[in-house]
Amino acid sequence: MVKTGPWSEEEDRRLLELRDAGRTTVSISNALKRTASAVDNRLWLLRSRERVNAEATSDG
């Protein structure tokens, strides 16, 4: 069964850990019980947030 709905902070942390470890999108999706598309979309969102945060801290 595939999870739906909001991502938890734990899922975000695990997603980033698995990606940093070199796991593929499909492998991550299986581990988190999310679709590959959901994993790709969440990675995009988290990276976007990181860029915004980095820009905000460098402006100060």
pLDDT confidence bin for 60, thresholds 50/70/90: low
pTM, whole model, 2 decimals? 0.85
Q: CA distances (Å), 38 to each of 6, 14, 29, 60, in order?
A: 11, 14, 8, 34
Q: CA distances (Å), 19 to each of 14, 26, 49, 57, in order?
A: 9, 11, 16, 25
- pLDDT (tens digit, 9 = 90+) per residue, 10-40? 999 999 999 999 999 999 999 999 999 999 9
**Amino acid type, 23:** R
> How far, in Å, CA of 22 to CA of 8, rounded?
21
Residue 56 has pLDDT above 80, yes or no: yes
